[in-house]
Amino acid sequence: MDTVDVLVVGSGHAGAQVAIALRKEGFEGSIALVSEEMELPYERPPLSKDYLAGDKSFDRLLIRQPAFWHDQRISLLPGRRISTVHPSEHRVEDEDGRSLSYRWLIWAAGGKPRRLRCPGHDLQGIHVVRTRADIDAIRSELPSVSEVVVIGGGYIGLETAAVLRKLGKEVVLLEAQDRVLARVAGPMLSRFYQNEHRAHGVDVRTSVQLESIVGDRGRATGVRLASGELIAAQMVIVGIGIVPSVAPLIASGARGDNGVLVDAQCRTSLPDVFAIGDCAQHVNRYAAGAAVRLESVQNANDQASVVAKTIVGKQAFYDVVPWFWSDQYDLKLQTIGLSAGHDTEVLRGDPGTRSFSIVYLRNGRVIALDCINSPADFVQGRKLVADHVAVDPAKLADASTPLKSLCPQLAGTISG
């Protein structure tokens, strides 16, 4: 295949979903899905949870079964990394010099895990969590591992630590900031999760700086902190975020910095080139109008739908309330909205019951909720966030009052 109507770069959730959505919207042209991996498109969120734990086989992670792609006339082109984009020619090249021409290009390449740069960063036994191959490598080594250091206190680090404790490993979790989840949640939720992990035996350490990974015969044997302390470990797992995979687009003239910038229809500044998913940077009114990247299945699905509709000539714009989730131990965290920039946190319920919510406000209006084992608040709180409703914090704190009763039908809205 040298020419295709729609070329999708990346076969993660965003890439797979846009191909699926195009067919659902009645698109009859040719579609090709290019992927660096050799696998069929699969879900990534379970990698750090059910798949690492061995509770789900890889087949259960597939977004669609093999026959689907054939039946829907979606060509899968695995094992190819697109290295160059020629927007004026509507053409891309992979690392082997092979060209593909397109009518529309949809960039859904996601990102690569950030790597350590300290001495010892290249030792064996240091792993990241992003692909099936990453988890398979971890699982293959775990039988000979008793002590693990997890670097990074975001969702990936915490989810991985929870699974490793379930598997009976001794775990030390290191976070450079003064609390876990500092980039995505308020201090109240951070304290709760720090306490939960410690109660499950994870040695959570915050405000720590890494000096080096030490090793023997080419394999990691421990982590040395800036304080001089040496923490023994036969495995190191790094979860410190991703670097958006957008270099070919930026090199070809696309706008962007932390990702590639797109408009409300997910168009880049290049002709007939869209970007969606983890690598797409967009202005979001739920982030007070800031340009953000959202790394979530919801964002991937919704942006895929917008692009599919746009290509078939329907009017569509990306403007939805962001939501996320995380499973750790017996805790299901569901987040609605973006809490960055909040000035007030309201506790709703008792954390001791392991079922409660935290409501975030800015200038008296609800901007986000973190709901722990509290699905009703998650569902009912969506409207409060969507309409930026102004609510008395005392009413929000009363867990006996359903959130839906606090959202008047004609609630005023604001854009920031």
Give the residue-averaged pLDDT of 13-18: 98
What are the tokens at 240? 């410190």
pLDDT, position 288:
85
Percent of the chain predicted with pLDDT > 90: 95
> Do 193 and 280 sit in the same domain of this protein?
no
Confidence of residue 209 (pLDDT cuts 50, 70, 90): very high
Flag whether pLDDT at 203 surpasses 60.
yes
pLDDT, position 329:
94
Sheet harboring 170-175: ordered strands across? 126-128, 235-238, 147-151, 170-175, 203-206
Give the residue-averaged pLDDT of 94-99: 94
> Do 234 and 285 sit in the same domain of this protein?
no
320 part of a folded domain? no
Q: How many CA atoms lie within 13 A of 362 on its CB side?
A: 19
Cα-to-chain-centroid distance, residue 155: 9
> Do 23 and 96 sit in the same domain of this protein?
yes
Q: Which amino acid is at 160?
A: T
pLDDT, position 414:
38
69 part of a folded domain? yes
Q: For 294-308, write each residue's pLDDT tens digit.
A: 999 999 999 999 999
317 part of a folded domain? no
> Do 56 and 90 sit in the same domain of this protein?
yes
Angle, alpha carbons 255-261-262 (nearest 5°): 120
Flag whether pLDDT at 413 surpasses 50.
no
- Decide: helix, strand or coil at residue 216: strand
pLDDT, position 415:
37
Domain boundary pick from 203, 219, 238: 238
What are the tokens at 335? 């987040």
Q: Which residue has the tokens 């000096």?
A: 211
For residue 342, give the CATH number of its domain. 3.30.390.30
> Do 106 and 214 sit in the same domain of this protein?
no
> Do 211 and 307 sit in the same domain of this protein?
no
124 part of a folded domain? yes
d(CA 31, CA 26) in angstroms, rounded, equals 12
DSSP 198-212: HHTT-EEEES--EEE
Q: How many domains does the chain have?
A: 3
Torsion of CA 247, 252, 258, 263, to 10 degrees: -140
Q: For 101-137, write each residue's pLDDT tens digit.
A: 999 999 999 999 999 999 999 999 999 999 999 999 9
Going by C-alpha positions, the residue among 268, 230, 229, 222 that lies closest to residue 249 is: 268
Q: What are phi and psi of 299, to 5 degrees?
A: -60, -45
> Do 175 and 210 sit in the same domain of this protein?
yes
- Decide: helix, strand or coil at residue 157: helix
Confidence of residue 289 (pLDDT cuts 50, 70, 90): confident
412 part of a folded domain? no
Q: For 250-273, write each residue's pLDDT tens digit.
A: 999 999 989 999 999 999 999 999
> Do 168 and 283 sit in the same domain of this protein?
no
Domain boundary pick from 190, 216, 238: 238
Flag whether pLDDT at 92 surpasses 90.
yes
Give the residue-averaged pLDDT of 200-229: 97
pLDDT, position 1:
59
Percent of the chain predicted with pLDDT > 70: 98
> Residue 178 in contact with residue 307, Cβ under 8 Å?
no
pLDDT, position 311:
98
pLDDT, position 206:
98
> Do 50 and 195 sit in the same domain of this protein?
no
If you average pLDDT over every residue of the chain, what do you get? 95
pLDDT, position 416:
38
183 part of a folded domain? yes
pLDDT, position 410:
35
Q: What are phi and psi of 134, to 5 degrees?
A: -60, -45
Check residues 407 and 384 and name the one with the higher pLDDT: 384
Domain boundary pick from 238, 255, 273: 238
Q: For 135-174, write each residue's pLDDT tens digit.
A: 999 999 999 999 999 999 999 999 999 999 999 999 999 9
> Do 127 and 189 sit in the same domain of this protein?
yes
> Do 13 and 84 sit in the same domain of this protein?
yes
72 part of a folded domain? yes
Flag whether pLDDT at 225 surpasses 90.
yes
316 part of a folded domain? no
Q: How many CA atoms lie within 13 A of 22 on its CB side?
A: 24
> Do 215 and 276 sit in the same domain of this protein?
no
> Residue 123 in contact with residue 234, Cβ under 8 Å?
no
Give the residue-averaged pLDDT of 2-19: 97
Domain range for 135 is: 115-238
Going by C-alpha positions, the residue among 81, 45, 40 that lies closest to residue 62 is: 40
Confidence of residue 407 (pLDDT cuts 50, 70, 90): confident
d(CA 66, CA 129) in angstroms, rounded, equals 25
Confidence of residue 12 (pLDDT cuts 50, 70, 90): very high
For residue 226, give the CATH number of its domain. 3.50.50.60
Q: Which residue has the tokens 């979606």?
A: 74
- Decide: helix, strand or coil at residue 155: helix
